[in-house]
Structure 1
Amino acid sequence: MAGSLTEHLVASLSRPIAAADRERASLHVLDWAACAAAGAREPVAAFLPALAEGGRAGPCSLVAGGSADATAAVLVNAGLGNVLEMDDVHRGAIVHPGDTIVPACLAVAEAADLPGEALLDAVITGYEVAIRLGLAAGTGHYRLWYTTATCGTFGTAAAIARLLGLAPERVVDALGHAGMMASGLWQCREEPTASKQLATAHAAQAGVMAARYAGAGARGPHRILEGALGFFAATCPTPRPEAITAPVGPWLIHEVSFKPWPACRHVHPAIEAALALRDRVAPGEIAAVRVATYRDALAFADRPDPTTPHEARFSLQHCVAAALLDGPVTLAHSAPEALACPHLGALRHRVALAEDPDRTARYPGRFSAGLAITRADGTVLTAAVESARGDPENPMSADEIREKARGLLSGALTPEAAGGAVAAAAALPGGLPVRAFGRALRADDLPSNDGRIDHAA
């Protein structure tokens, strides 16, 4: 292959974008916005304005209320989408592209007063780059590196380069600059930190900087991926460059999954399996529950005794017990009241985990789990989920995605305003100005919940 991997990647971005692609992108923009608006009610959101200290007034919307210049909007908004673990995800790449790409594109498009089509085309382009790079980086990279931040930096750079109208050679430069700044280590999940939000904020802003720097004429390393001192050599034990050079088909945004429940995606197959059995057994009949799943699900979500809302959302035991006890998992199930609930705690301690080597072998192409419930009388009920709800093989409908968004937005906006934001997102493919969508998201009288989520929410 002639040229560098980034040159090959950029060349693949020139294919047409169809109306159906933009419709799909508008759902991802809405999904990110709703997740961010709900995340803005959480205590961690109070730290993010410190990143934009000294920012100027501007036309770019802050989902927590008000407006600012593009730099401030990127930094503050891009820390909010992952707070409640309801963000979109590409399972093969193990990257949450919306967390970095959407807020960066929204701010830059608002600042330039661009139409909705421009925003959506940039989002589609950015998702393509982040996903292809995540697929190339592989699970060896994901073991230590927060792929959403590392690959998200590259994806954001490509998206902003599209908004800025950069020539292909300048986009290659932008990806080179992005590689110089791509970062984010998984130690943040081993300790009680707010660093994950900083990582996505930094990745989004770094992508914007990379594109603007390239647009000014600054040359970047073209072999930032495959070079002897490049991204693969430094961070990827078993890179798969063929994921970048493979023939292109439909835009990869169509492969991205939506999350129906507020929990780590590795937990979702087990939640769905529990829901499949819930109506067949009463909680008092359950003697034991066994979850068999892939290795990374255990590495991320084996938490038998969660003590914080964040830990609850990363606990297979807690979420499976909640699904068996109450039905679909909601934000209320990670509230302090739920963590202290004796009935939920007792059931949680009956949930055992085990690795299923066959499921590990199919991961990350499949996020799957098997669940077995042993009744007090010794009989056993089983269920298996091979593709979690929201995956391409088990999709949420557009109406379900909009209903999810409406519910999350209603915590920050009036029901009427939440409906208006949903409608505004649907109008983006038809040319609604991005500023109009941004204004629909603003929650200038946002209530604080002091870290608690109402069980009735």
Structure 2
Amino acid sequence: MSEALLSQLAQRLSRPVSAEDRQRARLHLLDWLACVAGARDTEAGHLGGEISRAGWERATYAGNALEMDDVHRTALLHPGPVIWPVAMSMGSAAMEQRLDGAVRGYEAMIAVGAALDAHHYAHWHPTATAGVIGAAAAFGSLIGFAPVEHAQAMANSASVAGGLWHMRHDDVLTKQWHIYHAVRTGRDAALHVHYGATGPKGILEGPQGLFAAMTREPGQLADAGEGWLIHQVSFKPFAACRHAHPAIDAAMELRKAGKLEAPFQVETFADALAFCDRPDPQTELEAKFSIQHAVAVVAAGRDAEPQDFTMDVVGELADLRAQVSVAEDPAITARYPAHFGARVNGLELVDTLGDPERPVSQDRIAEKMQTLAKLGGVKDADRAISLALEGHDAAAIDSMLEDWLA
């Protein structure tokens, strides 16, 4: 009888994390801090500030609010806003312990998320479904779990996995609540195993397990071989749904060449249309999920930053938006989700800025911190950059988060 999938995954989590892996994790820490800083004065940021005195817990609502959080393409989920609050949640943990916990949390969350199929993604929010498992892995690393404990903690978290996409139909904070739920549930699952709880390690593939209940054609757990999956995660340079990024990127390339002219014809993959075909957005959230508005933003000379998706800008760009048509290209859909692509007025990009094939630099992520800190009224962006990329004072980051979200 083969070993349970979560037991196999737990064995992978027991590997040592290298200095190179920790440095990669620092880039994602900085990216998450930038997202939190930018969202501190939003409705989600204020709500997070009411929840707890602990900075990590307050930040659970802010980390995803701007739609600029990191993303894994084939798993179709956002690890950063789930994993970093957990990795920063043990005040006694040193910086290296937190970075190691994050690497392991990303690994578990992405590995399981990549096995979920199109049927799952049509109904379930994978950042929540797989997020509880990643959160359990991250906190288990902080505690110092052996593989058997890691497997049981991930199993118990998976037993209550969920998060329905229906919230996309309303202007609500349910998506942020999903992240809070994943953080707390996964963390609590690990804590309970630490005190003696046990869990069903076959919960993924079992006859009444997660795959049976939530998928039709589950795939294999993602595996980077001897490396870690965190190196496959993409950064988001634009303040919109990731499905709109390929069209933004192609439009910007045309604009740089002086060739972005109306009318604008966008061809992209099917999921991009399912999530982001919104010719007439009525809220800021809908604007972030609108390919039409995203292309209009670029055509207007803007850079797809958070302020470009406010209702004032939505009103200003109505005429440009009306000149944007969108359609599916089956060839682009066939390459998805391994490649997020789009064609705008004939210019096709197979991969999008921020993906591993077209990476953003450390300087670009630091610039994102500066930009979002200014948006959120945060004064210590330089300090945040230094603490994330070079610092060893984890407690200083804790205090900084508490100050930002007080």
Work out whether the TM-score is over 0.5. yes
Alignment deviations for residues 97-137 of structure 1 (CA, whole Å, 9 cap, x no partner) = 011110111122x2xx2211000000000000111111111
CA contact (8 A) 2:82 2:179 kept: yes
- Residue 453 of structure 1 is matched in structure 2 by none
Secondary structure of the structure 2 residue equivalent to 1:238: coil
Matched, 1:423 2:386: yes
Task: Measure the CA separation in 2 of the matches of 1:322 and 1:414.
Answer: 26
Which residue pairs with 1:164 in the alignment?
143
One-letter identity of the residue aligned with 1:434: A
- Are 1:243 and 2:225 matched, yes or no? no
Indicate yes or no: 2:375 matched with 1:408. Answer: no
Whether the 8 Å CA contact 1:106–1:119 is kept in 2: the answer is yes
> Aligned residue for 1:349?
322
* In structure 2, C-alpha distance between the alignment counterparts of 1:178 and 1:128, rounded to whole Å: 15
> 1:273 is matched with which residue: 250, 256, 262?
250
Matches of 2:371 and 2:265, distance apart in 1 = 32
More displaced, 387-396 or 175-184? 175-184
1:180 aligns with one of 159, 162, 167: 159
Q: Are 1:194 and 2:194 an aligned pair?
A: no
Paired residues of 1:294 and 1:357 also in contact (CA < 8 A): yes
The two structures have a TM-score, normalised by structure 2, of 0.96
Q: Distance in 2 between matches of 1:319 and 1:114?
A: 41
Q: CA deviation at 1:49?
A: 5.0
* Corresponding residue for residue 195 of structure 2: 216
Deviations 1:135-157, CA, capped at 9 Å, x for gaps = 11133211111100110110010
Deviates more, 1:37-46 or 1:145-154: 37-46
Residue 394 of structure 2 is matched in structure 1 by 434
Q: Is 1:304 the counterpart of 2:298 in the alignment?
A: no
For residues 298-334 of structure 1, give each alpha carbon's deviation from its aligned partner in whole angstroms, at most 9, with x where no partner exists.
0000000112111111100000011112142111211
Aligned residue runs from structure 1 range 298-447, under 5 A? 298-341=273-316, 344-372=317-345, 382-412=346-376, 414-415=378-379, 417-428=380-391, 432-443=392-403
Structure 2 counterpart of 1:17: 17
Alignment check: 8 A CA contact 1:278 1:327 kept: no
- The answer to whether the 8 Å contact 2:269/2:336 transfers is yes
Answer whether contact 2:40 2:404 (CA < 8 A) is retained: no
Cα distance change, pair 357–303 in 1 and its aligned pair in 2 (3 A):
same
Matches within 5 A, 1:66-145: 73-74=56-57, 76-108=58-90, 110=91, 113-145=92-124
Give, as a single letter, the amino acid of the residue that structure 2 aligns with 1:269.
Answer: P
Q: Which runs of 5+ in 1 are unaligned?
A: 63-72, 373-381, 447-457
Partner of 1:377: none
Deviation at 1:279, TM superposition (A): 4.3
Kindly provide the amino acid, as one letter, of the partner of residue 323 in structure 1: V
Query: CA offsets per residue over residues 362-394 of structure 1, 9 Å max, x none?
Result: 11101100111xxxxxxxxx2111111000000
Q: How far off is 1:440 after superposition?
A: 3.2
- 1:281 Cα deviation (Å)? 5.0
Contact persistence 1:173–1:219 (CA under 8 A): yes
CA distance in structure 2 between the aligned counterparts of 1:403 and 1:440, rounded to whole angstroms: 19
Q: CA RMSD in A?
A: 1.8
Give 1:9 deviation, angstroms: 0.6
- Scaled by the length of structure 1, the TM-score of the pair is 0.85
Q: Provide the secondary structure at the position in 2 that maps to 1:149.
A: helix
Say if 2:241 is the partner of 1:264: yes
Find the aligned partners of 2:22 and 2:259 in 1 and give their Cα distance: 45
Q: What is the count of residue pairs matched by the alignment?
A: 406
What percent of counterpart residues are identical?
39
Distance 1:269 1:238, change over 3 A: same
Radius of gyration: which is bigger? 1
Q: State the distance in 2 between where 1:175 and 1:281 align.
A: 51
Gaps of 5+ in 2: none
Q: Give the whole-Å Cα distance in 2 for the aligned partners of 1:22 and 1:236.
A: 33
What is the deviation of 1:247?
6.8
Cα distance, 1:249 vs. partner? 3.0
Q: CA contact under 8 A between 2:124 and 2:162: conserved in structure 1?
A: yes
